[in-house]
């Protein structure tokens, strides 16, 4: 599956002297959005920022026995941290495309040391022969969306994460005030994302 961006949809303690002022919640309607992601997880292709979609390889006995899930710490991600190191903060493992081999979903952000750097969510696949490091084959969440991914799981082929964000540009970046539940499922040759309404955090 060639690497490609996903369609829709950053943590330090809040200073004691800070008091958040009321904001108007910008609720978003529930939506089912197609997530553009490449297919063919087992095809040897380098991770790039380009979007592409190719037919996924069907599961078959020729795929052989299940391999170990890709190691999320064994590669460098296509995340520009301006010289800061990258940090993998959460992972989940499971067979997402039904080929009998597990993939890994990694929540990655820049290790900036302060503030709340946003997350990106990447799907990783391992070459069955393990002749190379795992590779990024899809991006479920772009860091440019300025969201923090928590509670990352894979169950029955579905990736689930809680996404913390901001209701307006005026909300401090260290204090996300909205929360959405996002799910991604591989179907029809791409990942499709189901996104709930945005709600205030703590609700």
So where are the chain's domains? Answer: 31-42+72-200
Q: For residues 65 and 144, what is the distance between their CA atoms, to the nearest angstrom?
A: 38
Angle at 192 between CA 164 and CA 40, to 5 degrees: 120
Token duo for residue 111: 């290790």
- For residue 200, what pLDDT is reported? 83
Q: Which of 25-34, 38-47, 108-117, 190-199 has the lowest mean pLDDT?
A: 25-34
Percent of the chain clearing pLDDT 70 (strictly above): 67
Burial of residue 89, with CB atoms counted within 10 A of its CB: 0-12 exposed, 13-18 middle, 19 or more buried: middle
């Amino acid at each position: 599956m060639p690497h490609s961006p996903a369609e829709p949809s950053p943590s330090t303690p809040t200073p004691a002297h800070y008091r958040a002022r009321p904001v108007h919640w910008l609720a978003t309607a529930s939506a089912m959005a197609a997530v553009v992601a490449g297919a063919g997880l087992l095809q040897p292709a380098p991770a790039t920022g380009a979007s592409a979609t190719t037919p996924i390889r069907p599961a078959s006995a020729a795929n052989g026995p299940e391999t170990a899930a890709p190691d999320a710490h064994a590669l460098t991600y296509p995340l520009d941290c301006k010289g800061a190191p990258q940090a993998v903060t959460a992972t989940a493992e499971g067979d997402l495309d039904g080929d009998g081999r597990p993939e890994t979903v990694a929540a990655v952000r820049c290790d900036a040391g302060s503030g709340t750097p946003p997350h990106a969510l990447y799907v990783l696949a391992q070459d069955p022969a393990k002749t190379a490091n795992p590779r990024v084959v899809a991006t479920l969440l772009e860091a440019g969306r300025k969201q923090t991914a928590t509670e990352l799981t894979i169950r029955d082929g579905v990736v689930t994460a809680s996404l913390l964000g901001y209701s307006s540009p005026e909300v401090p970046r260290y204090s996300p005030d909205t929360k959405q539940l996002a799910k991604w499922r591989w179907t029809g040759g791409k990942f499709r994302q189901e996104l709930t309404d945005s709600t205030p955090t703590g609700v």
